[in-house]
């Protein structure tokens, strides 16, 4: 509950910062985001204590890790990006992540014994980092599209000093895409290794792996990201096309994290039984 309250407070401060540029609002926003990230970290500590291990066993823990890293990314980037619209966009992005994390919240659980391997940790961390970077790029892409629309309508004057230039936004978008592609590639590679080594013990065939909704969505995101980078460096594609393809990649990755779990009943879930409290036991 505290994390959700902090996320709503950050979104409100982000809106106020757009309306009224004030250093006190900006400072308060950083403090609230830091508070939210700290609460998320404490939550992970409690879940780690419950399972007596590293708390990276399910989609909820992955979302909390993603939230913490995105919060840190915002605090760090806000030190040199002093634009109200950037801060507001990131704050609302954090709120969306918190709401999505709440939809998959559940009791702490350990990994299945067969999945307890270093490959799982590398795979999970790589996917989380890729998720953080693509969400960052998606926020930047939305800001680029909004700025471009205002410029086209000759209403860009209201954004002067509050929004990074289109060139800077595009550069940040591309930077996030590049690093996200590297992290996602590592995640896919380690996932393939895990599939080869652990398929029989996890009761999943190769057919199960390649038809699983979460894996399909992730692979589609990787292919679209690869195509985007090839078009960028091969044909010089930029601007609106780059921003829109970034949003498509973000959709597929978020669906892989959340949608496939809620809607498609993905078999890509290696959690063991939930940890019961003494009363429940």
Helices (H) and strands (E) in the chain, counts: 10, 2
Confidence grade of residue 31 (pLDDT, cut at 50, 70, 90): very high
pLDDT tens string 153-175: 776 666 666 777 888 889 999 99
Task: Give me the percent of the chain exceeding a pLDDT of 90.
Answer: 17
pLDDT tens string 105-148: 766 655 555 445 666 778 788 888 888 889 889 989 998 888 88
Domain match, 163 and 217 both: yes
- Does residue 164 belong to any structural domain of this protein? yes
Residues, the chain: 281
- Does residue 215 belong to any structural domain of this protein? yes
At which of 108, 130, 164 does a domain end?
108
pLDDT value for 182: 94
Task: Provide the 3-class DSSP secondary structure of residue 274.
Answer: strand
At which of 74, 108, 142 does a domain end?
108
Record the pTM: 0.76
pLDDT tens string 59-93: 777 788 888 888 898 888 888 777 888 888 888 88
Q: Quote the CA–CA distance of 47 and 53 in Å, as a whole number.
A: 9
Q: Which residue has the tokens 């902090």?
A: 6
- Does residue 281 belong to any structural domain of this protein? no
| Residues of the domain holding 85 | 1-108
Confidence grade of residue 277 (pLDDT, cut at 50, 70, 90): very low
pLDDT tens string 17-26: 888 877 888 8
> How many other C-beta atoms are found inside a 10 Å radius of the C-beta of residue 139?
27
pLDDT value for 268: 52
> Cβ distance 252 to 220 under 8 Å?
yes
Which position has the higher pLDDT, 194 or 46? 46
- Does residue 222 belong to any structural domain of this protein? yes
Q: Quote the CA–CA distance of 160 and 163 in Å, as a whole number.
A: 6
104 pLDDT higher than 80: no
pLDDT tens string 216-253: 888 899 999 999 999 988 888 888 889 999 999 988 88
- Does residue 145 belong to any structural domain of this protein? yes
Look at phi and psi of residue 18 and say left if phi exceeds 0, alpha if psi is from -120 to 50, else beta: alpha
């Amino acid at each position: 509950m505290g994390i959700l309250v902090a996320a709503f407070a950050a979104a409100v401060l982000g809106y106020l910062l757009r309306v009224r540029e004030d250093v006190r609002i900006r400072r308060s926003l950083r403090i609230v985001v830091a508070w939210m990230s700290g609460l998320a970290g404490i939550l992970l500590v409690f879940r780690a204590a419950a399972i007596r291990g590293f708390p990276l066993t399910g989609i909820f823990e992955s979302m909390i890790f993603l939230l913490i890293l995105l919060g840190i990314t915002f605090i760090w980037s806000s030190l040199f990006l002093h634009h109200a619209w950037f801060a507001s966009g990131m704050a609302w992005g954090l709120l969306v992540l918190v709401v999505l994390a709440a939809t998959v919240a559940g009791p702490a659980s350990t990994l299945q014994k067969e999945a307890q391997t270093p490959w799982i940790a590398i795979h999970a961390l790589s996917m989380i980092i890729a998720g953080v970077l693509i969400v960052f790029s998606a926020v930047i892409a939305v800001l680029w599209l909004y700025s471009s629309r205002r410029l086209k309508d000759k209403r860009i004057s209201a954004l002067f000093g509050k929004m990074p230039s289109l060139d800077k936004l595009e550069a940040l978008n591309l930077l996030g895409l590049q690093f996200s592609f590297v992290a996602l590639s590592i995640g896919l590679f380690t996932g393939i290794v895990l599939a080869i080594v652990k398929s029989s013990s996890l009761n999943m065939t190769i057919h199960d792996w390649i038809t699983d909704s979460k894996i399909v969505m992730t692979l589609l995101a990787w292919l679209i990201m690869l195509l985007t980078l090839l078009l960028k460096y091969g044909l010089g594609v930029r601007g609106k096309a780059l921003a829109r393809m970034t949003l498509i990649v973000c959709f597929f990755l978020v669906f892989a994290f959340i949608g496939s779990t809620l809607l498609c009943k993905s078999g890509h879930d290696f959690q063991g039984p939930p940890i019961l409290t003494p009363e429940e036991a």
